[in-house]
A and B are shown apart, each in its own frame.
Chain A
């Protein structure tokens, strides 16, 4: 069965303190790995898709990387507005675009 594990469960950073979130996965035939941001009371907001090992994507202070077993979301010099829950999800095998989500990392950035 496809599995996605995210760590840490929660992360507290000072503004400007860079760090990384981890998403490790066990799937049969990865089709895509997705990062989402979710603010309290809102739906997940799409950030990145990664399709193959070695691929990297960047958006403002965020950079996502992918290996054959895990993905990292690097946050450089975070700001308080980066506080949110970050969700990782995978599409695998021949499923019709089914996403399997991890349980997320709650990030809090203090000023």
Chain B
């Protein structure tokens, strides 16, 4: 009964490669997100999709391209990986209820290491 799942959990790759991370949520939420957590544990939003539409794009290099094939899935593709891309990437989802901005539920994270 996993709520937000990500694959893979670990990803080790060489500089210059292209890689993808997949995210799925079975909570029926409308909105999904990608966050990056750096080595100092600071969590920063990258992208958000609402009903498959991109609504937040936070000054992220265009080597990063999110794709949402449907409401339950949000994937992150990264081209030409650089050393500085090494981090933990978290997917999250949230419901829309009434006028309140609601809590986000996070996946287990994908630790990306670029060598």
Q: How many residues of A contact B (CB 8 A)?
A: 26
Answer whether residue B94 sits at the interface, using C-beta atoms and an 8 A cutoff. yes
Chain A CB within 10 Å, residue with most, of B42, B50, B56, B104 = B104
Contacts known (A46-B105, A49-B103); A96 close to B50, Cβ less than 8 A: yes
Contacts known (A32-B100, A96-B31, A98-B48); A103 close to B105, Cβ less than 8 A: no
A99 touches B45 (CB 8 A): yes
Q: How far is the CA of A101 from the CA of B36 in the complex (A)?
A: 11
| Nearest-neighbor residue (CB-CB) of B109 within chain A | A43
B100 touches A44 (CB 8 A): no
Chain A CB within 10 Å, residue with most, of B45, B55, B101 = B101
Q: How far is the CA of A10 from the CA of B40 in the complex (A)?
A: 13
Answer whether residue A45 sits at the interface, using C-beta atoms and an 8 A cutoff. yes
Q: How far is the CA of A34 from the CA of B103 in the complex (A)?
A: 7
Q: How many residues of B contact A (CB 8 A)?
A: 27
Residue-wise, chain A 81-111 has the 8 Å CB interface mask toward B (1 for contact) of: 0000101010100011111110110000000
Q: How far is the CA of A99 from the CA of B46 in the complex (A)?
A: 11
Which residues, 80 to 114 on B, are CB-close (under 8 Å) to A?
90, 92, 94, 100-109
Answer whether residue A79 sits at the interface, using C-beta atoms and an 8 A cutoff. no
A42 touches B31 (CB 8 A): no
Contact of A31 among B40, B44, B101 (CB under 8 A): B101
Complex interface: chain B residues within 8 A of A42 (CB): 108-109
Contact of A85 among B41, B104, B108 (CB under 8 A): B41
Q: How far is the CA of A73 from the CA of B52 in the complex (A)?
A: 35
Q: How far is the CA of A107 from the CA of B77 in the complex (A)?
A: 35
Complex interface: chain A residues within 8 A of B42 (CB): 101, 103
Contacts known (A97-B94, A101-B42); A43 close to B56, Cβ less than 8 A: no
Contact of B48 among A38, A96, A103 (CB under 8 A): A96
Q: Can you list 7 pairs linking A and B with CB atoms under 8 Å apart?
A: A38-B41, A49-B100, A96-B48, A97-B33, A97-B101, A101-B43, A104-B41
Interface residues of B (CB under 8 A from A): 4, 31, 33, 40-45, 48, 50, 55-56, 58, 90, 92, 94, 100-109
